[in-house]
Copies of this chain bind each other. A is one copy, B any other.
Amino acid sequence: MHNSEAMALSAALLAVAGELTQRIHDGVVDRGFEGLRPVHGFAFARLAPGGATVTDLAVHLGVTKQAASQLVDEIVRKGYAERRPHPGDARARLVVLTERGWACARAAEEAAADAVRTWGDLLGEGEVRALLAQLLRIAPNGPIRPSW
């Protein structure tokens, strides 16, 4: 594999990732959820299972906990999440999605499915599944960096 091929792979990967992010964001806006940015989606992904603390979010997003705290302020103010006392640790607060937050997360899933469906039209479903399998094997476990 030559260097130029590696660069082509990198460029294609980044272009596809960027377009996917944009399409999910557009789809979420189209479904009536405004005032959010892609980074909020990454936060929702971490909040969805059962809530998370501000520090958890900060690690997941690769930012300081102050930045994560501001981000939580924002989604709380806009009605997508709320801070509840943390059971078992009076220092911490558990940030959980509201019903509107869940609706937004479902909208993001639908938008992602729409985008992936267009790939299925181009590649065939089998190839898309192969793509998923390959990516899962090389995906890291680290934080999802929202901006570069």
Give A residues with C-beta under 8 Å from B.
Answer: 1-22, 24-25, 37-39, 42, 45, 108-110, 112-113, 115-120, 122-123, 125, 127-132, 134-140, 142, 144-148
Grouping DSSP codes into helix (H, G, I), strand (E, B) and loop, the A interface class, with mixed when no group exceeds half, is helix
Chain B residue, CB-CB nearest to A136 = B12
From the candidates B9, B138, B142, name the one contacting A135 in the complex (CB within 8 A). Answer: B9
* A9, A12, A116, A146: residue with the most chain B Cβ atoms closer than 10 Å: A9
Known: A1-B113, A9-B116, A122-B137. 7 other contacts (CB 8 A): A5-B132, A9-B128, A9-B132, A13-B20, A15-B144, A16-B138, A16-B140
Interface pair B3/A113, CB less than 8 Å apart: yes
